Structure 1
Amino acid sequence: MSVLAALPETEAESVPLGRVLADLRRAFAHAGIAEPAADARVLVAGALGLEPARLILHEADPLDAIARARIGEAGARRLAGEPVYRILGIRSFFGLTLALSPETLEPRVDSEILVEAVMPHVARIAAAKGTCRIADLGTGTGALALALLAATPAATALGTDISIGALETASANAARNGLADRFRTVRSDWFDRVEGERFDLVVSNPPYIASSAIGGLLREVREHDPRAALDGGADGLDAYRRLAEGAAAHLEDGGAVAVEHGFDQPAVVAEIFARMGFSPVSVHHDLAGHRRAAIFVPRIGTCG
């Protein structure tokens, strides 16, 4: 049976959008999806090319069988555990529209906190130097770098990733958002292929889940986000060690490193950076009040 409620033959040609939306919402609620109304709105809006907030203005509009089939297919994928924005193939992030791919992590609100935290630093450097050179390590969709470029027209950015598919997605997102002239990519395992370059800011949302904990993640995450973007090694901290070890040699005077981390990792991440000669200058909290991001600067004499 279709995800959407069966309709009488007399209604086969057109059905009001509001009824289709209500059917989808009920199906999601019955399946135990956490936010059935929100997921239904986003999926229906995406299928119809509308903003979710505008659906209420179109609830009486008739939908033909083709539109209903498109919505029904999206609904079936959601019921099978696929996240809403994976189904749509795009995600809004800090005012940008970013395409997703199987090789990229889906950008989330927590990463917007990191962008907000470093924006003043980028603006200050750009005002003083006429530019700000950014490295986004493990760039994925390019979300961090592209959001910072959009906010600071004088900035430039390098995005690195071990996945060719991720780099292709990031480059396409740069072009989609009119930022391709200030964004470039290189395939690199953290700093390994970033040779002889220095930056005013290094940013990263690295994998930080312990390998043994991957199986306990929400189905939407463990089955649809790439494992390489989640798995941080035995204790979840491998990437932070690599970042802390390599950052000083790639920072300009006055440069900084900014990272996102797990809600239970702020102290140990700070300790890793401290052992490599860095001091924290600020910490930033998520909407639940957890410390979620931190900015570090080298102590005097640390930069290579």
Structure 2
Amino acid sequence: MTLTLVKAWNAAKDRLKNVQIDQPAIDARLLLEVAADVTRTDIITDPYRVLTEAQMATLDDFLNRRARREPVSHIIGRKGFWKILLQVNKHVLTPRPETEVIVDEVLKAFPEQMPFNMLDLGVGSGTILLAVLAERPAAKGLGVDVSEEALAVARENAANLDLAGRTALLRGDWTNGLGDDSFDLVVSNPPYIATEVIDTLEPEVRDHEPRLALDGGPDGLDAYRVLAGEILRVLKPGAMFAVEIGYDQSQAVEDLFRQAGAQDVRTIKDLSVNDRVVTGTK
């Protein structure tokens, strides 16, 4: 059976819709683009291009995996974030639009040609660190993660984005071994989901995201209890921090940073009008 791009897309959409996948049209298009080695423009301008047998087999495999609720980003191995494209796999969190709030706040605070030294704690795939460095050519950054597998992904992304020369990556436990007053900026998207909540999450997250990057302890706040004091320790006087939080954690996280001595502490909402980032200064 011959299958054209438009027929393949429509069939894939229907197949994903039948198993209650959210946004089946978008997922089907993304999977088709990779399986058939085409772009979105190709699908629109050359809809009757015929897929090869190998491409059809690859698409079928992709759709089977998506039907089992494997994230699209894991299937195709990449995810867009801010203005960059990142390689991702099962060892790192899939970048989410909500995290762009941190990038937006950082770029507002640091003019384009301003040199600064930033630290990303729990760097994962390099999401925040590399998005900022891509926009700020005078900046340098250090990313720390406890997972060597995550650091391998971040290294690949830094190299792909031509940012390896301004990016250092270190395996470590948060700020252990880092000197006082070392950074102009510290960012973090730590694990913040309460342990008992994880098993109630959608299968794409519960079954496929690294639990190490999700589990924030009994109340979701374990990481912040460590980070509040440690972030302020490694920040230079007057320097800025920004950490992602869960939608219901604003007051608790703000209190932890104020108790540690932070100034100008406030919470920023995401585009869904949920509390998303706590920021402040030393």
Could you say whether these structures have the same fold, taking a TM-score greater than 0.5 normalized by the shorter chain as the test?
yes
Secondary structure, aligned partner of 1:264 = coil
Give percent identity, aligned residues only: 37
Q: Give RMSD over aligned pairs.
A: 1.5
- Structure-2 residue corresponding to 1:71: 59
Encode CA deviations 1:180-200: one digit per residue, 9 max, x unaligned: 000011111111132456100
- Residues 188-227 of structure 1 mapped to structure 2, 5 A cutoff: 188-195=172-179, 198-227=182-211
Report the TM-score, using the length of structure 1 for normalisation.
Answer: 0.89
1:221 positional shift: 0.2
Q: Which residue of 2 aligns with 1:256?
A: 240
Letter in 2 for 1:209: I
> Greater CA radius of gyration, 1 or 2?
1
Shift of 1:249: 1.7
Alignment of 1:3-152 (within 5 A): 12=1, 14-52=2-40, 54-123=42-111, 127=114, 131-152=115-136
1:6 maps to what in 2? none
SS of equivalent to 2:243: strand
Mapped to 1, the partners of 2:94 and 2:77 lie a distance apart of 10
Paired letter, 2:149: G
User: Cα offset for 1:238?
Assistant: 0.8
- CA distance in 1 between counterparts of 2:245 and 2:259 reads 17
- Equivalent pair of 1:136/1:159 in contact (CA under 8 Å): yes
What is the CA–CA distance in structure 2 between the aligned matches of 1:280 and 1:42, rounded to whole Å? 42
TM-superposed deviation, 1:282? 4.4
Change (3 A) 1:166 1:24: same
Aligned partner letter, 2:18: H
- The Cα of 1:254 is off from its aligned counterpart by 1.9
Q: CA deviation at 1:53?
A: 5.1
* Structure 2 residue 280 is matched with structure 1 residue 292: no
Aligned to 1:301: none
CA distance in 2, matches of 1:50, 1:193: 47
The Cα of 1:261 is off from its aligned counterpart by: 0.6
Deviates more, 1:94-103 or 1:207-216: 94-103
Q: How many residues are treated as equivalent by the alignment?
A: 282
Amino acid at match of 1:258: A
Q: Which residue of 2 aligns with 1:3?
A: none
SS in 1 for 2:85: strand
- Write the distance in 2 (CA, Å) between the matches of 1:281 and 1:236: 20
How many angstroms apart in 1 are the aligned matches of 2:76 and 2:157?
A: 15
Cα displacement (A) at 1:203: 0.1
Cα deviation per residue 1:189-228 (whole Å; 9 max; x = unaligned)? 1111324561000000110000111100110001111000
Partner residue in 1 for 2:220:
236
Q: Could you say if the C-alpha distance between residues 44 and 294 of structure 1 is closer, same or farther in structure 2, counting changes exceeding 3 Å?
A: same
Amino acid at match of 1:90: R
Hey, what's the Cα distance between the residues in 2 that align with 1:195 and 1:279?
21
| Cα distance change, pair 222–94 in 1 and its aligned pair in 2 (3 A) | same
CA distance in 2: counterparts of 1:42 and 1:284, whole angstroms: 31
Distance in 1 (CA, whole Å) between partners of 2:84 and 2:42 is: 19
**Structure 1 CA distance for aligned equivalents of residues 6 and 117 of structure 2:** 49
Q: Secondary structure at the match of 1:245?
A: helix
Q: Return 5+ residue gaps in structure 2 as ranges.
A: none
Q: Normalized against structure 2, the TM-score is what?
A: 0.96
- Detail structure 1 runs of 4+ shifted over 4 Å in the superposition: none
Partners of 1:167 and 1:185 within 8 A in 2: yes
